[in-house]
Chains A and B, each alone.
Chain A
């Protein structure tokens, strides 16, 4: 099956070459970081996590969102998802790989990463995140591969694959819950120390992940003969709609609790985010953009006239992805550190090397999804004939 991914026309090869070039630029930038240390980033003593961890958080969510198609199809026999499910599973694989890569490039001493295994620390959420993410990666790789393999050989999938599929459902929820717990458990950071992040993460993940899946599906329908199905796409859009509404609701709950209570230590982080403090307002325009994108997408999704036009739907999905990425990435990680425990405000902005490494990892993820989708689509098209 793998050989199918490597053969293709000029356009396909040009695409792969482009992705490799962007990934290579990122890799070179990473070598620069390897030799000079993380001083090449915009991070500081106060804001010690930034673009890398923001991306890690977002892509764990995308990985977890595979459950939104897997659960209806395998547990509730929603036959309409027959073609889109493999796309969802194979979206989870590069998403997890990207999350892991973002953690690795954020480490000060990645050469010591093996210490995570040599000295297991079950009291640390990062330990559990490592287990959850790697386990989920293996699960999805195996499930996707064995179901495709069974189709190629025109057989039924092995019986215990169904068990693994069922396992992947709570596992998907757990990877994002563990990620939220990384933040939620810290008493030092009032913005993070609230129970709402786990449900909010899942809600925003189940909006942005399906949005990405819809974009992928529309693109695939355009450039290949594979059609996941209008009905499937609309159903996935429905899931994204409800998830987005829940996300907005939870945001409003968060805003009310913090602002009505008015505890200065809690309010100050939101004030920095949405209004700025003492002339420091780097994130303000981003946050309002995010709110407009999320709110606007929700409204548009609720309007059947807009939702059913696939050109508009694509735009809505792009808006959801960007809006959630800002809200969950920059809007969560950076303001947690501003102001610092000593009341200082040190703003953060990524540097060019940091952005290059980030886009390099994105390109690598897109490369993997290109290869996986090509194999999946080939098998599905063969099966249809």
Chain B
């Protein structure tokens, strides 16, 4: 066999291996549209429930979020902020809602700046739009915390376990030195349940669903009522919507 013949044989065998693999991949990406999870918050209903923390308690309980006494080092997957702090660029609404506490959480942006800056891809966006955290890969550089325009991320400045009231065995606890945030209850979604916060709010202020499904609660709400997002001008395309009226 000449060298030329050998090289041609090699090329053909290579092609023979690659082509069926390519066809198999084609089989995998079928016609199913991926989900695009989103949440809708009714601002006025949430603002009316003064002092209510049901969504926060439910979330923090099932996710083993510690209760850190130091206010500057708290870990919050969901929290409440005054309306003017969440929407500083909307002064027109301030009078009606000034100082009223509204819930806020990770917006699971379509174009997440936190994912862009992570040097190990410990935070990443899934196909269904959820911005996930890999607690095992995070090196605790906190670049994602600097990059998040919404204050949604928290860091474990010490070992969180002594500060967890009652450990829920259904979800891992974290170690010191890693970042964490809301995960849209991906572990509940996998079992066909809605996120714990939506469940705890008992159908009043929060709706959750698939933006790609025209019949979903979120699509119907967004199609019929005006809504806004936090800091839309930044181009992050958040998927938590706040109903205006």
Which residues of A are interface residues toward B (Cβ below 8 A)? 36-39, 41, 43-46, 48-49, 103, 106-110, 112-113, 115-116, 118-119, 121, 123-127, 130, 182, 185-189, 264-265, 336-337, 340-344, 346
Q: Quick one: CB contact mask for B130-150 with A, threshold 8 Å, 1 for yes?
A: 000000011111110111111
Are B148 and A341 within 8 A (Cβ)?
A: yes
Q: A107-B141, A124-B119, A130-B119 are in contact. Are A188 and B149 (CB under 8 A)?
A: yes
Residue of A nearest to B115 (CB): A123
Query: In the complex, what distance in Å separates the CA atom of A322 from the CA atom of B142?
Result: 27
CB closest residue in chain B, given A129: B119
CB of B61 closer than 8 Å to a CB of A: no
In the bound complex, what is the Cα–Cα distance between A45 and B85 (angstroms)?
16
A341 adjacent to B72 (CB under 8 Å): no
| B165 close to chain A: CB less than 8 A | no
B55 near A: Cβ within 8 Å? no
Q: How far is the CA of A342 from the CA of B142 in the complex (A)?
A: 18
Partner-contacting stretch, out of B39-47, B153-161, B215-223 = B153-161
CB-based contact B141/A45 at 8 Å? no
Q: Is the CB of A44 within 8 A of B113?
A: no
Which residue of B86, B157, B179, B234 is within 8 Å of A188 (Cβ)? Answer: B234
B177 to A127, Cβ gap below 8 A? no
From known contacts A107-B177, A112-B139, infer whether A127 and B147 are also in contact, taking CB-CB under 8 Å: no
Residues of B contacting A123 in the complex (Cβ-Cβ under 8 angstroms)? 116-117
A247 to B42, CA, bound (A): 49
Given A38-B157, A121-B119, verify A109-B138 contact (CB < 8 Å): yes
CB pair B150–A341 under 8 Å, yes or no, is: yes
Asked if A37 and B146 sit within 8 Å, CB to CB, the answer is no
Q: Separation in Å of the A284 CB from the closest CB of chain B?
A: 20
A41 to B142, CA, bound (A): 14
Q: How far is the CB of A59 from chain B (nearest CB, A)?
A: 17
Q: Is the interface of A mostly helix, strand, loop or mixed?
A: loop
Cβ of B151 under 8 Å from chain A: yes
Quick one: which of B67-120 are within 8 Å of A by CB? 70, 72-75, 81, 84-86, 88, 113, 116-120
Residues of B within 8 A of A (CB): 70, 72-75, 81, 84-86, 88, 113, 116-122, 137-143, 145-151, 154-159, 175-179, 234-236
CB of A161, distance to nearest CB on chain B (Å): 32
Given the known interface contacts A121-B121, A341-B148, A346-B72, the answer about A45 and B137 at a Cβ–Cβ threshold of 8 Å is: no
Tell whether, in the assembled complex, residue B154 and residue A108 are in contact, meaning their CB atoms are under 8 Å apart: no
Q: How far is the CA of A346 from the CA of B147 in the complex (A)?
A: 18
Question: Chain B residues with Cβ under 8 A from A341's Cβ?
Answer: 148-151
A182→B83 CA distance, assembly (Å)? 31
Q: What's the least CB distance linking A226 to chain B, in Å?
A: 41
Q: Would you give the shortest CB distance from A302 to chain B, in whole angstroms?
A: 37
Contact between A125 and B117, CB atoms less than 8 A apart: yes
Q: Identify B139's interface contact among A108, A188, A340, CB under 8 A.
A: A108
Inter-chain contacts of A187 with B (CB < 8 A): 113, 149, 234-236
- Can you give 23 A-B contacts (C-beta < 8 A)? A37-B158, A38-B157, A39-B73, A39-B176, A46-B72, A103-B141, A106-B141, A108-B140, A108-B141, A109-B138, A109-B177, A109-B178, A110-B139, A115-B137, A126-B119, A126-B143, A130-B119, A185-B116, A337-B146, A341-B148, A341-B149, A342-B86, A342-B151
On whether the beta carbons of B121 and A45 are closer than 8 Å, the reply is no
